[in-house]
Amino acid sequence: MGLNQYLILSAFLFCTGVYGVLARKNAVLVLMSVELMLNAVNINLVAFSAFKGTVSGQVFALFVTTIAAAEVGVGLAIVLLIYRNEHTSDLDEVDELKG
Amino acid sequence: MLSNAWIIPAIPAVSFFLVLFFGKRMPGRGAEIGIAAVGASFVLSVVAVIQWIDRVENATGQHEGLRALGRGIFAAAGHGEVAVQPVTSSITWWQNGLVKFTVGTRVDGLVVMMLFVVTLISLLVHVYSVAYMREEVRFTHYYAMLSLFTASMLLLVVADNTLLLLVGWEGVGLCSFALIGHFWEDQPNSNAALKAFFTTRTGDIGLMIGIIMMFFASGTFSISGTNAYALSRGADHSLLLIGAICLFIGIIGKSGQFPLHTWLPDAMAGPTPVSALIHAATMVVAGVFLGARLYPVFFKGFSIGSGSINFMALIGGITIVIGAVLAFVQRDIKKVLAYSTISQIGYMVMALGVGAWTAAVFHLFTHAFFKALLFLGAGSVSFSGSHHSFDMKSDMGGLRKPMPITFWTFIIGALALAGIFPFAGFWSKDEILVTAGASGFDAFMIVGLVGAFLTAAYMTRCIYLTFFGEYRGHGHPHESEPLITVPLVVLACFSVVAGLINAAPLGIEKFKEWVEPTVSFPALVHPDFDYAKALISLTVAALGIGIGAYYWFQREERRPLGGLTERNALARAGYTFLERKYYLDVLYENIIVAGIKAPIAGAAYWFDQHIVDKIVNSVGAGARRLGTFVYDTVDQKVVDGAVNQIAEVTGESGGLLRYIQSGRVQRYALLLFAAIGLLSLALLIANI
């Protein structure tokens, strides 16, 4: 298998994530979409790492996974608080920073 | 001491500052500083006198070289005397091109005589004032000014050049202004001070022009140089004449000579001790001193040696008579003495004018003692006898019994003033008259005799009104305290014996020997003592006293001429004429001053209204126009416009940017991705 298949998969996953972030109303689904985008990047890193025969890309991927876990933790906590205060998880209704 | 004579004026000058800054904190309110300083100056002056006499006595036979030099320059070789060089010391003040301006002292017989007189009289006045001024508010300032007054006069005396002399001269004028106006709370007193100042300033203009002229004539400010130039063969006579006239105008103003004498009687507004100082030792004799100091200039300028009538003798002669006549109509005892001073200074000036230099200076010397005595006596009378009044007719009379010391010392002073043998005034006045006669000025000798007659008569009147008759005042007359009487006694002693220093018939001519310069000095006539003339002058004086006594020592209604002014219109007119002081004050104040004042004031007003105001108004209008322009254009349009513009742009751009801030996370994310997409596209295109 060549590198391109991995890259195409990664691009597909990333686009799916972008679409999810931009289009979904539910905050939890937006967070999941962000995870999709991160994993698309991870695929890229691992694919390039295997292709070039070095391990640095895989190390990066491990870091990304770790950071993503923390990020989701923080993100879900925020969503939980928003829900507790606003009784909704719809992002369109959370617009208090409107100028 | 002779070469360090600068110390003598320096001590009172330092005392001035000490009294001014520390006087009020001293137990004696500053008086002790002043007395100590003037006392020190007096002691040093006595030392200077002794050293000078020593120098003169030693000169005989020891300075052959100097004698030859003196004969070569000019001088008294004809008199069989040695030339005694004055002691000079000076330092260069500054130099401009070839002209050197020096500061220094030049001490000769005249100077040591003046130092002695000034410091002695000043010391006595200082002591006397402790009692006399005790109640005064500005006691300390009074003493400060007395010290400065003394210092200025001493500086004037020792100065070796006319510039330094002028400094002292002006200092004396300033201090007399301050002291005459000491009681400035009353308007007439401050007016009198201003009058004294302005009148003497009128003369000072002449003095300054004279000094400048003599500088350009002789090329030096030094007194020796000026005198040597005046006596040299190459001297320009017309230049000397004009210079002498200008200098003499200064003397007229300072010494109260006709027609600028009017300030002197008004100067009586000052405290009495100050009057004594002004009249005896400082202010008015400064003019005579200048005449004596620069005598060669006057001698050559006025051609005194030729025996013809000259400006100087004429003014002196007029002053003798007009001063003496005015003394008859005064009610104020100090004004009698003031007119007497005018008249006596007239004698000195006339004596200088007729070539009687020694007699003039001798009269200055003796006059200092008895005039100071008379003034201090008058002060004593007003202090303890007449309740601070000086009006003889309403507040005095019959004071001889309660005030014996004042009475007897006053009598001695009056006799000396009248020229009665053997008091001091006799010797000096007689010498003036004899020398005037012997030098060919017979007319002036007669004027002098008339003056002597008048002097004796008005002093008789003054003594009668003050000490005889019934007491007319309201106080409790008693003798003054020792601080006042001791100076009177000291001065009385001097008034008795001072004349004997130059008593020709006794073979004593020490004054002439010690005082008359022998270097750079014109040859003067020194007539022998003339018993006939002495007898005439004595008779005239006695006659004056006799007639005065006959007239005034009678009861009012039995006087031979009593009530004449009421009966006779001519006599009344004459009396009024005298009472108005010859209308000179009217002439000066209402005609000359007003005549000058009105056009000057008019011109000044026109200038003020038309030129100054116009300039001010145009400047104002211009400034206003400029201000409006700046407000309208710069401030309103440029500055405000810029500020407003900035605010508007900021507001509008804020309004536009506000649409981006939707508050929606997904909108932000869209912008983020769109921006990344655009950037990636741009990088892609850039890299191709």
- Between B644 and A96, residue with greater pLDDT: B644
CA distance B686 to chain A (A): 23
A18, closest residue in chain B (CA to CA): B673
Spans in chain B with pLDDT lower than 50: 61-80
Residues of A with a Cβ under 8 Å from any B Cβ are 18, 21-23, 30, 91-92, 94-99
Alpha-carbon distance of B466 to B391, in angstroms, equals 9
Spell out which residues of chain B touch residue A21, defining contact as CB-CB under 8 Å. Answer: 666, 669
State the DSSP string of B250-299: HHHHHTT-TTSTTHHHHGGGS-HHHHHHHHHTSHHHHHHHHHHHTHHHHH
Alpha-carbon distance of B583 to B594, in angstroms, equals 15
Length of chain A: 99
Pairing of strands B87-96, B99-107: antiparallel
Closest CA to B298 of B348, B359, B230: B230
Tell me phi and psi for residue B554, to 5 degrees: -120, 165
pLDDT value, residue A32: 92
pLDDT single digits (tens) B499-534? 777 776 666 677 777 777 777 777 777 777 777 777
Alpha-carbon distance of B604 to B582, in angstroms, equals 32
Instruction: Flag if A22 and B670 touch (Cβ within 8 Å).
Output: yes
Spell out which residues of chain A touch residue B666, defining contact as CB-CB under 8 Å. Answer: 21-23, 30, 91-92
Instruction: Flag if B673 and A97 touch (Cβ within 8 Å).
Output: no
Q: Do the Cβ atoms of B365 and B281 come closer than 8 Å?
A: no
**Which of A18, A89, A96 is the mutation pick for testing B, counting most B CBs within 10 A?**
A18
pLDDT value, residue B557: 54
> Burial letters for A36-72: b for 16+ Cβ neighbours within 10 Å, e otherwise?
bbbbbbbbbbbbbbeeeeeeebeebbeebeeebeeee
Instruction: Flag if A18 and B673 touch (Cβ within 8 Å).
Output: yes
Helix boundaries (H) for B525-664: 531-552, 564-567, 569-579, 584-586, 594-606, 613-629, 640-657
Domain that holds residue A48: 3-97
Length of chain B: 688
The one-letter amino acid code at B149 reads F
Entry pTM: 0.70
As for how many domains chain A has, the answer is 1
Closest CA to B76 of B56, B49, B55: B56
Instruction: Flag if A99 and B660 touch (Cβ within 8 Å).
Output: yes
pLDDT value, residue B302: 80
CATH code, domain with A76: 1.10.287.3510
Angle between helices B223-231 and B162-180 (to 10 degrees): 120
B673, closest residue in chain A (CA to CA): A18
Instruction: Flag if B666 and A22 touch (Cβ within 8 Å).
Output: yes
Instruction: Flag if B663 and A92 touch (Cβ within 8 Å).
Output: no
Instruction: Flag if A99 and B665 touch (Cβ within 8 Å).
Output: no
Spell out which residues of chain B touch residue A97, defining contact as CB-CB under 8 Å. Answer: 661, 663
Number of A–B residue contacts, CB under 8 Å: 33
Instruction: Flag if A99 and B663 touch (Cβ within 8 Å).
Output: yes
- Between A13 and B595, residue with greater pLDDT: A13
Other beta carbons within 10 angstroms of residue B448's beta carbon come to 30
pLDDT value, residue B623: 94
pLDDT value, residue B87: 80
**Which of B659, B664, B670 is the mutation pick for testing A, counting most A CBs within 10 A?**
B664
Instruction: Flag if B673 and A92 touch (Cβ within 8 Å).
Output: no
- Between A73 and B28, residue with greater pLDDT: A73
Other beta carbons within 10 angstroms of residue B550's beta carbon come to 12
Mean pLDDT over A21-39 rounds to 91
Q: Is the ipTM of this complex over 0.95?
A: no
Q: Is the peptide bond before B259 cis (omega within 30 degrees of 0)?
A: yes
Closest CA to B432 of B318, B321, B314, B349: B349
